[in-house]
Chain A
Amino acid sequence: MHSFEAPVGRSLAAVLREDLGLTGTKLACGEGHCGACTVQLDGVPVLSCITLVHTVGNREVTTIEGLRDHALVDAFVRTDALQCGFCTPGQIVSAAALVAANPQPSKDEIRHAMSGNICRCGTYPKIEEAISTWQD
């Protein structure tokens, strides 16, 4: 847990990666189109590359570093839901928010919740399987 004096005008992603050295959060487009930089603010997934850090206020920021022991991590590895792994932390952060609100999401619910996280390697079928079976 870090508390941080937020400089005005910097993105949450830049502060996490550069100032705090928490590089699990990835930057792939830097303009809110791909989902790689997804973190949770009080449990809600947001794009940290287009979130200004001074707007975070007292909300709790959860990054992949805070989810390293989440059962989804094992599920992603077991089902091979990652290839290069660059988008994977963002995928897991989004998926963790989904299963916290809805522990047994349907296929359509998974597709709806995860469609903002792009994976160029094309691990989508395995991501769907990982989220469908995360409690196994």
Chain B
Amino acid sequence: MARLIRTEKEVEGRYEEVWIVVEEDALDQWPEGPLTTVGRKVPRVDGHQRARGQAQFTADLQLPGMLHTAVLRSPYARARVTSIDLEPARRARGVRAVIGPQDLDQLTDEPGYVGQAVAAVAADTFGQAHAAVDAIEVQWEVLEPLLDPDEAVRQKSFVSEVDRYERGDFERGLAAADVVVEADYRTQVVLHNSMETHQAVCHWEDDGITIYISTQYIWGIRSAMADQLGLPPDKVRVVCHAMGGGFGAKNSPGDYTPIAAELAKRTARPVKCALTRREENVAAGNRNATIQRLTVGATSDGTLVALGGEFVNAVGFNGWSATTEGPMKMLYACDNVRTTQYPAKLNLPPMAAFRAPGFVEGTFALECLLDELAVKLNMDPLELRRRNYAASDLTQDRPFSSKNLAECYRRAEPHWAKRDDVRARSDGPWKHGVGLASQIWYGGGGPPSYAWIRVGSDGRAQIVTAMQDIGTGTRTAMAQIAAEELGIPVEHVQVSLGDSARGPFASISAGSSTVPSMGPAVRSAAADAKRQILEIAAQRFHLEQRVLDVRDGRIVSADGGSWPLTEITGLLESGQILGKGARGPNPAGMQVLTFGVQVAEVAVDVETGEIRVDKIVAIHDVGRVINPLGAESQVEGGIIQGLGHTLSELRLVDPQSGRTLTQTLDAYKLPTIADVPEIVTDLVDVPDAHLTNLGAKGLGEPPIIPTAAAIANAIRDATGADVRSLPITREEMLRALREAREREKERRGAPAPA
């Protein structure tokens, strides 16, 4: 039965109270551990298509008569257009339409960052469009940009309200502390750099529009573009069969989709607007920089009595302010916590969600702070974490639906115990060490999400739902879930997704929500189809339905009868069995979270500041694992992005003009295959008994969260130096080493305490 509930909806750590119509989730969870298909390693069902270059990406689309777009982007961080002449562009070769600030909301005559869209040209070729953009004549009034986040806080230049939080009494807690550590941490701007840049092809047809787009959220594009164009949502068809990476930056239409839609309308031709790599790195979003000024107080037995911080999110000209303070509020059982988060608005390119926004940055700072405290307390860092283990969610005073972080710590022990051996490998200037860091994040997904399944006379099933596979192996996981429930081989399940005109509403692929949101809907649809198959079988074989089941593609009865599934489905001829399923509600009154710990082994050359990461062990608790093969890939991918975040990736801007200096992939240093350490993945794989009919949580984001802190803590273990700024360049490493040497000198030179 459909039920109306008032509930919290969480995406990327952002909550809103919403009304949701949910359907009851009446299925019992499967038993723990690997089943017939679920919990087994299954190669991705669309792997050959992708490997052979046959998957349909938006970038590959060539519709008849399709035009190409180039965008005029502001060369100034803050400016006003005093005059603009589009005529020279209109006269240029191959040009079919030109639009400016008067023509579209997404084009502006008051740009607020270098790269904001001002005008756009559609032409027969991209080269012609590009040349025409250069012909547009613009007069600018150049204004003084605001580029410094602390200055933005002083001027109260914010994208949203300042967020203040306190539980207990921070000042009193601090007064009771035996040991206090204060430290400032900084994290840099990181660029997503999906391999397929942001792009869309818009085509007006059948009194509506079809939008082919590289996106993480078909239905979000559909509703945003329906609003933009003043169309009923069903007149907007959104298609995404394959997309070349998103990592959080492809949740919305951006500027390129409205631009393509407007130019397509004016020219009555399909129009592609694809960002170049350089545009991608100024206009498509980024992980914003942070400044975190933190304090921790503990009693001498290691009990945390005060945690506090001022968090400046350097959001850019727009975007939203992520919960950088989240880990400090949620990870440990500290009674007295006070945080203030400043969402600084700057004349810099905008923020977009990037794989666990806020928690990646906040965990780096918090988990380094904990280890600096452990040094002062002379306490084992793992022991310090265990002593402050949070048994329930203190931010909202409610139980966790499940928490197996203690089990993660237990599994980390053998790796942690090796640190004397690892340190003993130190040789000459190369010092070795081991560090760890914990992970906390969301990843429970939620309603609504729907799936249909059809079973034909050949006994094969097709899942139909309008979700997207952003490269995480969604098609494969969904096929496994349906195969398990239906009792048929995974090869007998097809997955049809990627088109809003084919199938029901489906979740965003962000916030680690795909498996926990869609998986239960697919299982429920499969169960509906199976129930109907057994109803028919019961009539055909004159048996009670409750003694029948489907296993290994056969209908079996409790008294030992066994018939091929097709003996029943074959009766259908051209008929089909149609199953329908919905995602049930999240457990009321419970906090659904993911947890984990990573252990890093590093080596540092204390003469040159060179850092080498030798090994990362990743132990995560994400509930039931659907596909251990794909899950391992997610973990490795997250850690490798984390490695780039920790050691090499840095968006540089010119501090005078606000121009991005690292727009190309030779300047912006992504990890390569040569940079990758040994990675060991260990997933706890215990279903969350309270969460849905699967007990599965998301895994996309957790693995990137603790990597930076684990590496920084290993560096401290190896060298005694406190690195506090990402990326840990050689300059930062040498600065921290110098500071550590001076501290040591001071300590030795200081008179012994009386």
- One of B53, B471, B671 near A84 (C-beta < 8 A): B471
- Contact between A26 and B48, CB atoms less than 8 A apart: no
Closest to A73 in B: B51
Complex Cα–Cα for A28 and B277 (A):
7
- One of B244, B640, B676 near A86 (C-beta < 8 A): B244
- Contact between B53 and A123, CB atoms less than 8 A apart: no
A60 at interface, CB cutoff 8 A = no
Q: Which residues of B contact A27 (CB under 8 A)?
A: 59
Q: Which residues of B contact A82 (CB under 8 A)?
A: 44, 47, 50-51
- Contact between A120 and B632, CB atoms less than 8 A apart: no
Q: Which of B659-676 contact A (CB under 8 A)?
A: 664-666, 670-674, 676
Q: Which of A104-120 contact B (CB under 8 A)?
A: 110-112, 114-120
- One of B55, B197, B639 near A122 (C-beta < 8 A): B639
Q: Which of B32-91 contact A (CB under 8 A)?
A: 43-44, 47-55, 57, 59-60, 62
Is the contact region of chain A dominated by helix, strand, or loop, or is it mixed?
loop
B713 at interface, CB cutoff 8 A = no
Q: Which residues of B contact A85 (CB under 8 A)?
A: 49-51, 55, 242, 244, 471
A89 and B637 in contact, given A114-B673, A120-B193 (Cβ under 8 angstroms): no
- Contact between B665 and A34, CB atoms less than 8 A apart: yes
- Contact between B245 and A123, CB atoms less than 8 A apart: no
A23 at interface, CB cutoff 8 A = yes
Q: Which of B434-448 contact A (CB under 8 A)?
A: none
- Contact between B673 and A84, CB atoms less than 8 A apart: no
Complex Cα–Cα for A123 and B52 (A):
16
- Contact between A77 and B59, CB atoms less than 8 A apart: no
- Contact between B673 and A127, CB atoms less than 8 A apart: yes
Residue among A18, A88, A114, A116 with most chain B CB within 10 A: A88
Q: Which residues of A contact B637 (CB under 8 A)?
A: 83, 121-123
Is the contact region of chain B dominated by helix, strand, or loop, or is it mixed?
loop
- Contact between B48 and A125, CB atoms less than 8 A apart: no
User: In the complex, how many angstroms separate the beta carbon of A68 from the nearest chain B beta carbon?
Assistant: 5
Complex Cα–Cα for A73 and B641 (A):
25
Q: Which residues of B contact A115 (CB under 8 A)?
A: 672-674
- One of B47, B53, B641 near A77 (C-beta < 8 A): B47
User: In the complex, how many angstroms separate the beta carbon of A8 from the nearest chain B beta carbon?
Assistant: 14
Q: Which residues of B contact A61 (CB under 8 A)?
A: none
- Contact between B52 and A64, CB atoms less than 8 A apart: yes
Complex Cα–Cα for A126 and B674 (A):
13
Q: Which residues of B contact A12 (CB under 8 A)?
A: none
B630 at interface, CB cutoff 8 A = yes
Complex Cα–Cα for A74 and B674 (A):
23
- Contact between B244 and A122, CB atoms less than 8 A apart: no
Q: Which residues of A contact B57 (CB under 8 A)?
A: 26, 86
A57 at interface, CB cutoff 8 A = no
- Contact between B52 and A84, CB atoms less than 8 A apart: no
A18 and B630 in contact, given A68-B52, A111-B674 (Cβ under 8 angstroms): no
Q: Which residues of B contact A123 (CB under 8 A)?
A: 633, 636-637
- One of B632, B640, B671 near A80 (C-beta < 8 A): B632
- One of B47, B53, B244, B629 near A25 (C-beta < 8 A): B53
Complex Cα–Cα for A78 and B54 (A):
18
Complex Cα–Cα for A76 and B665 (A):
25
User: In the complex, how many angstroms separate the beta carbon of A72 from the nearest chain B beta carbon?
Assistant: 8
Interface residues of A (CB under 8 A from B): 17-18, 21, 23-31, 33-34, 36, 63-65, 68, 73-74, 76-78, 80, 82-89, 92, 110-112, 114-128
- Closest 5 interchain pairs by CB? A24-B53, A85-B50, A84-B471, A86-B244, A122-B640
Jot down 15 A-B pairs with beta carbons below 8 A, ordered by A. Answer: A24-B53, A34-B195, A83-B473, A84-B195, A84-B196, A86-B245, A88-B51, A89-B51, A116-B672, A120-B192, A120-B670, A122-B639, A122-B641, A122-B671, A125-B679
Interface residues of B (CB under 8 A from A): 43-44, 47-55, 57, 59-60, 62, 192-197, 242-245, 247, 276-277, 470-473, 629-630, 632-633, 636-641, 664-666, 670-674, 676, 679
Beyond A77-B44, A120-B245, A123-B637: 19 further Cβ-contacts under 8 Å? A23-B60, A24-B53, A26-B196, A28-B197, A30-B276, A36-B195, A68-B52, A73-B52, A77-B43, A83-B633, A86-B196, A87-B244, A114-B673, A119-B673, A120-B641, A120-B670, A122-B637, A124-B671, A125-B676
